[in-house]
Structure 1
């Protein structure tokens, strides 16, 4: 895990997941309590909001073991279960732990589970969508490849966006970064930019939601079960030039 500031960025939050925590105790147990929030059990995920029986259940999904945060994605009693986490950033000026601009870095891998996806995103604290935009990376079905999306500021529809695809799959370890500044959003995968947006950049505070859930396109089979693993995360504030 990187430690310390970078040129143009001040490190404000890190998590290396060094303390094991059983299923049902993350993020409420020490040392994670107060550092992380999770969408409560029974919250509809994105597929659920579109009419599917699909929910976030952190108490049945999340644990920390052997130095990684583990999402045990599975179906119980006909309900696919994922989880959505929000790091609590120090000095945040909003109730959602958001900030204006920043660098958000995560090291991760996943089993190639058909019917589950990542949609790790920066979501506007205002909740005004699509007006205040959205930044998604990495996003994609776990059985497919990794993509990035930027929904533009002052958008009028969900399709008002730029997207950047790759052929990179989830099964190996990868490091992904969103670099969000007033003039550009850069998407970096394994130290290489996969694309940049330079117009109509979101310009209101956003919070980082590490959201893993059912796919909109391929609902998971009842027998589908596996892991998304996160080795570490790091967040930086933007140093105005």
Structure 2
């Protein structure tokens, strides 16, 4: 099924679907290692982003905020292959030790924990052959003022592919703190594990969907693929425009037998309010023919009255020197917009928090724009769409849009 809409006099077709689900994380293989080593010691934890109580869960620049027990740490370059960004941490047991070793946040993720459910997650893989098949534990440890502890754990068996492990811990009384750690059991010399994309989310946002595009094709149980005329009638949208490799979703626009072929896909679950987050980049386009877009679209199909949130839209500028956020609303398709003056050919993590009283846009971890006009904030369920839209009937060469991962949270 397709539908058409108007913006600035140009129709935009999108596909609607509505089935829920969650994709597993499977990032295969081990890339070349470029390491920056840190001894078994404690490092101060810096201030965390508001939606992640772990300040340095991606290890992209350093190892700040982490300590170990019976182990040392090193940053390892894994691009492609890292679940998030280009680096992971490698945790290696100290020579002469056995039985177990761990990676731990250097301080409590909360000093005096706010009451509610905390959720921790991490992507973990064996870093050596001997570690394959060993048990690893992801844990949150609660400590009260007297020193008494409770621990919530989730176990997994290490493989050479990254897997995401998640554990939740309810904090039910004030005066408690939480510490995050990952522990490998039954270790022997030669063991080691990788970790990346470590998050601890406070009471409020909870992860309800995640796709790391770590298989060999789009998971069509989670995504509906467009198979229709192109945006505004320009060319065609075809499932064949999509590929998945090296942990990335790739949408390719190119001429095929004289026709411009590109693609789009829609998540099969709808959400009223939530946090929609993704990591994306779009190649330069010398032909100024296509625009990379990640948006939310109303389940009702009642556009523009029920809104359209173009979280990330490159436009057709050949250089991709910037991208924009557009919020559509009202029967006459009124719009708010925000320009992101950053290079859209480079990777950016973009997020929209959608609540009843505000839309908040984040770029690379920083809040950059807040919209509070109640008339512009949708109050019906939407679903997430990923599109490389054609604005012409022909182009030279090909252009690719890349998506590293997608995450959706709700309160």
Place the TM-score, normalised by the shorter chain, in its bin. Answer: 0.7 to 0.9
Whole-Å separation in 1 of the counterparts to 2:406 and 2:216: 16
- For 1:107, which of 260, 270, 279 is the aligned residue? 279
Q: CA RMSD in A?
A: 1.8
- For 1:9, which of 192, 200, 205 is the aligned residue? 205
Matching residue of 1:226: 399
Matching residue of 1:128: 302
Asked if 1:76 corresponds to 2:256, the answer is yes
Is contact 2:252–2:263 with CA below 8 Å preserved after alignment? no
| Cα drift, residue 163 of structure 1 | 0.6
Matching residue of 1:181: 355
The number of residues matched between the two structures is: 208
Instruction: Mark the structure with the bigger radius of gyration.
Output: 2
Matching residue of 1:39: 226
Matching of residues 53-202 of structure 1 within 5 Å: 53-59=234-240, 61-88=241-268, 97-113=269-285, 114-141=288-315, 143=318, 144=320, 145-152=322-329, 155-158=330-333, 160-199=334-373, 200=375, 201-202=377-378
Whole-Å separation in 2 of the counterparts to 1:138 and 1:20: 25
Matching residue of 1:20: 216
| Cα drift, residue 222 of structure 1 | 3.4
User: Structure 2 regions of 5+ residues with no counterpart?
Assistant: 1-83, 85-196
| Cα drift, residue 70 of structure 1 | 1.1
TM-score normalised by structure 1 residue count: 0.80
The SS at the match of 2:397 is coil
Matching residue of 2:169: none
| Cα drift, residue 3 of structure 1 | 6.3
| Cα drift, residue 5 of structure 1 | 6.3
Greater relative contact order (Cα 8 A, min sep 6): structure 1 or 2? 1
User: Structure 1 regions of 5+ residues with no counterpart?
Assistant: 22-26, 89-96
Matching residue of 2:19: none
Alpha-carbon displacement from aligned partner over 1:36-58 (angstroms, at most 9, x marks no partner): 21112xx123321xxxx322112
Whole-Å separation in 1 of the counterparts to 2:206 and 2:226: 27
Whole-Å separation in 2 of the counterparts to 1:196 and 1:171: 24
Matching residue of 2:390: 214
Whole-Å separation in 2 of the counterparts to 1:182 and 1:227: 35
Alpha-carbon displacement from aligned partner over 1:166-194 (angstroms, at most 9, x marks no partner): 22122111111111011111111111223
- Indicate how the Cα distance of structure 1 residues 129 and 67 shifts in structure 2: closer, same or farther if over 3 A, else same: same
Is contact 2:226–2:237 with CA below 8 Å preserved after alignment? yes
Matching residue of 2:381: 205
Alpha-carbon displacement from aligned partner over 1:84-112 (angstroms, at most 9, x marks no partner): 11223xxxxxxxx2110011111111210
Whole-Å separation in 1 of the counterparts to 2:258 and 2:200: 46
- Indicate how the Cα distance of structure 1 residues 124 and 65 shifts in structure 2: closer, same or farther if over 3 A, else same: same
Whole-Å separation in 2 of the counterparts to 1:131 and 1:231: 31
